[in-house]
Structure 1
Amino acid sequence: MAKRRHRRRRKRPLRALLPLMLALLAAYLVFGEFDESDPAQNGNGADSSTASQTADENNGLSENGATQFQAENTDEEELAKRYYYSQLDENRQMIYRELVQGIAEHQETIITKGGDPDVTAEVYGWVYMDYPEYCWINGASHVTGYGEPKNYCEVVPEYTIPAEEITGRQTQVKGAGNDFLSDIDRSMDDYGKIKAVFEKCIRQIDYVKDAPENQTLYSGLVNRQTVCAGYARTFQYLMNRLDIPVIYVTGTTDTGEAHGWNIVKCGDNYYNVDVTWGDPVFAEGESGEYNLPDDLIYYDFLCVSDAEFSDTHQADANLPLPACNADDLEYYRQIGRYMDTFDATQILWEMETDIEETKEYSEFKFATDDLMAQVMEARPELLDKASGYLCSYYGLGSVKYTYSEDTATRKLMVFWQYKGEPSE
C-alpha cells in the first residue's frame, strides 16, 4: 500500500526589496537649471543659497573657455546590444554615449551636451539599466544643468568602489563570465542557450538576502550570492555575452514587493524570464524522511508570455517594454505537459511512463483554474493508482511520494521515491 506525504503550498524564496531605479535617482538628484532672467540664480546653474550645489562658473571649461565635453568612444557593436539605448531619440543617444564613456573611465565629473538636467538624469538611468557590467555604480547621480549660452550638464555619478579597483573588478567579472559560459554549447539554438544559462544561474547562485552588493552583477556572477536584482543582472550580462537580446526589468510582484527580472528576444518574439523564481523553496516533508531533489528547477517563469506572467509580475510603468505575446517556448508546452483539457487516463499514463524511466518527478501545468480544480479533485485516486503501479513495476510492497499543488501557477508535481519495502 502506498504511503503519501504531501505538501499543499509552495513557499517562494524571500526577495530583497529592489530599489526602484527612478525613485533612487529622484532621491539623489541635485540639479539647478540656469535661467538668465531669474535674479535668484547666479549664473552657475545652481541656487546661490545652496552651497553644496554652487558650481564655479568655469566648471567644464578649458583654458580658452571652451566646454570640455566627455569624449564618445563607445563601441557601436556593444551599443547595439543595449535595449534602452535603442529606444532613445538622437539627442538622448548622444548623452547616453557620453555617460557610458565617462562611467567606464570612472570620471569624477562627466560633462554632457544639453543643459536640461531632467533629460540627462533620465538618460543616466537608462545607462544604469543597460550596463550590468558597470557594477561600480548604484544608479544614483548628482546632475547640475547649465542653460544657454553654456548648454551643458555636469554629472557626478555615485561610485561604489575607488577608481583604482575598477580594472581588477573588470578582470574578475570577465573571468567569472568565461567560467560560467565555458560549458554552454554554442552550437545550440538561442532557446537552448537561454535555458542552459537559466538553469546554471539557479544551480550555481544562492539566494542570500543580506549578500554584499546584492543589487549588482558582481554579487551574482563573482560572489555567487545575491537577490533578485543580482540574478537578473547576471542573466542580462551572460545573454549579452552570447549575443542574445536581453532587457533588465524592474517592477513589483503580486504581493507588492519590488522585484527585478528579464525579457529576452528569441527568434522574432520577446519572452519574460525570472531566474530568481526558478529556484523554488518547498516545505520539508511532514517527517523529514524524504527530501526533494537538490537541483530542482522551477520552469514556470522561463520564456513565458505576458498573459502567463502578468498575474504575478507588474513592470514599472515608465519602462518602454516590448509585448511578450508568444507562448510557444513555455517549458511545459515544450515537454508536452501543458494540459488544455482534463484527461485522467492521459495524466496517469504520463506518470507511469515517468516511473518506468525512473524520473525523479512528474509535472503537469494546466491551462485554466477550472482544469486545476479538476485535477486536485482527482489527485488522490490518480496518485494511488500511480504509486501502486510503481510498487508493481519495481516489486515493492510500499513506497513514499511527495506532491505539490500550486494553484497560482496551476501546476501539479509528484516526487517519486524508488525505495521501499520489497513485496512478499
Structure 2
Amino acid sequence: MQMFKIKGNKEKRSHKGATGMSNHNGRKVVAVIIISMLIILLVAAGAYLALEDLVGGMDIQSFFEDSQAQQNEEIAASQQQAFDGYAFLEDNEKQAYARVVGMLTDFDTEVKVSGVDTEEIERVLAAIDYDYPEIFWAGEFSYYFDEGTQKVSKVMVEYPYDEAEKERRQTEIEAAFQEYSRGIKSGMSDYDKVKYAYEYVIKNTIYQEDLEDDQNIYSVFGKKGSVCAGYSKAIQYLLKRTGIECSYVAGEAIGQGAHAWNLVRVDGEYYYLDATWGEFNIADNAEPEKSIFYDYFCVTTAELLKSHHPDQTLIAYPEFTATAANYFVKENKLYDLNKKSEENRFVDDLEVALNTGEKYFHYAITDANTIGVAEDLMDDVLGSYYWFSSEDSLSNTIELY
C-alpha cells in the first residue's frame, strides 16, 4: 500500500477580523446545509409519492403531459372559429389535437396520444394544418399504431430545419407583419381590412410553382413567391392577427386539380375569398404594374361552385348567400345594363376612371346577355382598351390606356 503525504501545513486558517469565521464554525454551517438539503429531499420524495397517490399511480411525466394538453385544448377552444377544423372534431380527437399542437409549438419531435385510431389522427393532422398558418415549420408526420385495434400511441414529426432556423424565419415573418400592419388604420371596417389583406398578398407575391415552403406562409412573407396554399394561409394569418375571422378551405378548382382559398367573416356574414385567382396574369405578374382581379372577392356559395369544389370530408360548409361585401356590390360597380339609367351610370364611371388616370376599371353586370351593350359603350367612351372577361361574362376588367 502506498500512502500519499501532504507536505506543508495540514490546516490553513483564514482570519477576517471581527467578521471572520473559523473552520470549526464553517463545519457547523456545512452540516446545517446538508441536513436542510436532506429534509428538502425527504419532503420532495414525500410530495412525489403523494402526487403519485393523487393521480392514481399514473406516470408523473404523463400526468404533466396531460395537464399541458388540457391547457392547450382550452386555448384552442377559446380561439376556435366556426369553420376551423377544430370545431368539427370529436372530443377524443380534440385531446389528440391539443397534444400535437403542444409538440409543434415546443419544437418537440414526438408526443404520446391515446383514444384515437388511424383515421381519426388523420383528421386531427388535417385540422391542425387548416387552423395554424403560424406553425409554418411543421414537416412530415408519422405515427405508431396497433395493427389490431388501429389505435395510435405516438405521433412523430420531422422538421425541415433546426430550431435556430425556425426562429430566424419567424423573425422575418414578424418583420413582414409589422410592415403590413402599418397599413391598418384605426376605424377600418371589416371589408376594408379584408380588401387590404387581399391586395397586399397579391401585390407582394409572385405565383410560382415548385418552390420550397410553397405550402406555408414563409413562402409569401420570406420568399415573396408561392402557390394557392401559401396565398390562402398568408391571408388567414394576416386577418386573424387583425381580428377578422378567416379560415383555410381546401378543395379543387374544377378541371384544374387541388386548390385552396379562404372563408372570411365580414360584418357577421360569411364569404368565400380566392386571392390566388386575384392574380391579374399569373404568367406575367411581376411588380410594380400588377393589377388585381376581384371576381372571387367575397362571393356566395352559388358563385363559388361554378368553378370550385370545397372538400367537406372534415368541415361541413352550409350555403352562404350574403352579397353585401362582394367587391362589385360594395364598390357600386355592378350594373344592370337592361336599364338606360344603368347604361348612363356605366358611361359616367368609365369617364371618371379615364379622366382620373386609373389604369384598370373593374365591373360586373347582372345579365350576361347585356355584354354586347357593355362592349358598345366601352367602344364609344374608350376607343382603345384591353378587356378581360370571366367565362360567364359577368365580371370584367378593362385595362385603360
Q: Is the 8 A contact 1:278 1:297 kept in 2?
A: yes
- Cα offset for 1:279? 1.2
Q: Match for 2:256: what amino acid?
A: G
Return closer, same or farther for 1:191/1:80 CA change in 2, 3 Å cut-off.
farther
1:365 match: 364
Q: Is the 8 A contact 2:121 2:152 kept in 1?
A: no
Residue in structure 2 matching 1:342, options 314, 331, 338: 338
Larger radius of gyration: 2
Q: Does 1:416 align with 2:400?
A: yes
Q: Match for 1:80: what amino acid?
A: S
Alignment of 1:76-87 (within 5 A): 76=74, 79-82=77-80, 83-87=84-88
- Cα offset for 1:115? 5.0
Between the aligned partners of 1:282 and 1:104, the Cα distance in structure 2 is 35
Between the aligned partners of 1:319 and 1:327, the Cα distance in structure 2 is 26
More contact order relative to length (CA 8 Å, sep ≥ 6): 1
Between Structure 1 and Structure 2, the one with more helix by share is 2
Q: Match for 2:108: what amino acid?
A: Q
Between the aligned partners of 2:214 and 2:317, the Cα distance in structure 1 is 27
Q: Does 1:305 align with 2:306?
A: no
Q: Match for 2:171: what amino acid?
A: T
Between the aligned partners of 1:283 and 1:234, the Cα distance in structure 2 is 21
- Cα offset for 1:315? 0.7
Deviation track 1:158-196 (CA, whole Å, cap 9, x = no partner) reads: 322224433333322222222222222242111111111
Q: Is the 8 A contact 1:121 1:143 kept in 2?
A: no
1:38 match: none
Deviation track 1:178-220 (CA, whole Å, cap 9, x = no partner) reads: 2222222242111111111111111111111132211111111
Alignment coverage as a number of residue pairs:
332
Structure 2 residues not aligned, in runs of 5+ = 1-56
Q: Is the 8 A contact 1:219 1:230 kept in 2?
A: yes
Return closer, same or farther for 1:168/1:357 CA change in 2, 3 Å cut-off.
closer
Q: Is the 8 A contact 1:236 1:246 kept in 2?
A: yes
Aligned partner of residue 143 in structure 2, secondary structure: strand
1:354 match: 353
Between the aligned partners of 1:171 and 1:282, the Cα distance in structure 2 is 29
- Cα offset for 1:76? 4.5
Between the aligned partners of 1:380 and 1:262, the Cα distance in structure 2 is 33
- Cα offset for 1:224? 1.2
- Cα offset for 1:145? 2.9
1:317 match: 312
Between the aligned partners of 1:105 and 1:270, the Cα distance in structure 2 is 33
Identity over aligned pairs, percent: 24
Return closer, same or farther for 1:100/1:327 CA change in 2, 3 Å cut-off.
same
2:386 match: 402
Between the aligned partners of 1:92 and 1:292, the Cα distance in structure 2 is 44
TM-score of the pair, normalised by structure 1: 0.70
Aligned partner of residue 107 in structure 1, secondary structure: coil
Deviation track 1:125-165 (CA, whole Å, cap 9, x = no partner) reads: 21121111111124x4212235999x762001232222443
Alignment of 1:138-287 (within 5 A): 138=139, 140-145=140-145, 153-281=153-281
Structure 1 residues not aligned, in runs of 5+ = 1-62, 285-290, 388-398, 418-424
Between the aligned partners of 1:414 and 1:120, the Cα distance in structure 2 is 48
Between the aligned partners of 1:282 and 1:142, the Cα distance in structure 2 is 35
Between the aligned partners of 1:274 and 1:350, the Cα distance in structure 2 is 26
- Cα offset for 1:341? 4.6
Q: Is the 8 A contact 1:272 1:306 kept in 2?
A: yes
Return closer, same or farther for 1:292/1:165 CA change in 2, 3 Å cut-off.
closer
Aligned partner of residue 255 in structure 2, secondary structure: coil
Return closer, same or farther for 1:339/1:282 CA change in 2, 3 Å cut-off.
farther
